[in-house]
Structure 1
Amino acid sequence: MAESVVRRRAALRVLGRLAGRLGGALFVLWAVASITFFAVRLIPGDPAQAVLGGPGSQASPEALAAVTAEYGFDQPVIVQYFAQLGRLATGDLGRSYALNMDVGPLVLSQLGGTLVLAVLSLALAWLLALALATWSTRGGLVAARVATSLEIVAAALPHFWLATSLIVVLSIWLGLLPPISTGGVAGLVLPVLTLAIPLAGFLGQIMRESLLTALESPFVLSARARGESERGALWIHALRHASLPAISLSGWAFGSLISGAVVVETIFARPGLGRTLLGAVTLRDVPVVIGVVMIVAVAYILMTLLTDAASRLVDPRLRLS
Structure 2
Amino acid sequence: MTRTSPDPTRTLRPGWRRWTGRLGSAVLVVWGAATAAFLAQLAQPGDRATAILNLRTGQVQERSAEELAPINAEYGFESPVLSQYLDHILGLLRGDLGTSYQQHRPVWDVVAEQIPPTLALSATALVLAWVLMPAWVLLTAGRGPATSAWGAAVETVLASLPQYWLGAVLVLVFALGLGWFPVVGGSGVAGIVLPALALALPLAGFLGQATRTEFERVLGQPFVLSARLRGAGDLSVRVRHVLRHAALAPLTLTGWALGATVSGAVVVETVFTRQGIGRTLVSAVESQDLPIVTGIVVLTALVYVAINLALDALYPFLDPRLTT
2:58 maps to 56
Instruction: Compare 156-165 and 16-25 and name the one that shifted more.
Output: 16-25
Native 8 Å contact 1:53 1:98 kept in 2: no
Per-residue CA deviations over 1:53-102 (Å, capped at 9, x if unaligned) read: 52833575232232123323244444422321222122221211111111
Instruction: Provide the C-alpha distance between the structure 2 equivalents of 1:238 and 1:175, rounded to a whole number of angstroms.
Output: 40
Instruction: Provide the C-alpha distance between the structure 2 equivalents of 1:19 and 1:149, rounded to a whole number of angstroms.
Output: 41
Instruction: Provide the C-alpha distance between the structure 2 equivalents of 1:286 and 1:102, rounded to a whole number of angstroms.
Output: 13
* Identity within the alignment, %: 42
Cα distance change on mapping 1:53 and 1:177 into 2, 3 Å: farther
Instruction: Provide the C-alpha distance between the structure 1 equivalents of 2:125 and 2:10, rounded to a whole number of angstroms.
Output: 42
Instruction: Quote the offset at 1:140 in angstroms.
Output: 4.2
Native 8 Å contact 1:47 1:284 kept in 2: no
TM-score, with length taken from structure 2: 0.91
1:273 maps to 277
Alignment of 1:169-180 (within 5 A): 169-180=173-184
Instruction: Provide the C-alpha distance between the structure 2 equivalents of 1:83 and 1:283, rounded to a whole number of angstroms.
Output: 24
Cα distance change on mapping 1:11 and 1:134 into 2, 3 Å: closer
Native 8 Å contact 1:134 1:208 kept in 2: no
Pairing partner for 1:65 from 62, 66, 69: 69
Instruction: Quote the offset at 1:205 in angstroms.
Output: 1.4
1:46 maps to 47
- Is 2:246 the partner of 1:245? no
Instruction: Provide the C-alpha distance between the structure 1 equivalents of 2:41 and 2:4, rounded to a whole number of angstroms.
Output: 57
Instruction: Provide the C-alpha distance between the structure 2 equivalents of 1:50 and 1:181, rounded to a whole number of angstroms.
Output: 32
Instruction: Quote the offset at 1:43 in angstroms.
Output: 3.4
- Is 2:149 the partner of 1:145? yes
1:201 maps to 205
1:18 maps to 19
Uncovered stretches (5+) of structure 1, i.e. residues with no partner: none
Pairing partner for 2:305 from 296, 301, 308: 301
1:291 maps to 295
Instruction: Provide the C-alpha distance between the structure 1 equivalents of 2:262 and 2:60, rounded to a whole number of angstroms.
Output: 36
DSSP-derived class of the 2:25 partner: helix
Cα distance change on mapping 1:306 and 1:42 into 2, 3 Å: same
Uncovered stretches (5+) of structure 2, i.e. residues with no partner: none
Per-residue CA deviations over 1:90-135 (Å, capped at 9, x if unaligned) read: 2221211111111122222211211111111111111111122111
DSSP-derived class of the 1:57 partner: coil
Root-mean-square deviation over aligned CA pairs: 2.1
Instruction: Quote the offset at 1:175 in angstroms.
Output: 1.6
Native 8 Å contact 2:218 2:246 kept in 1: yes
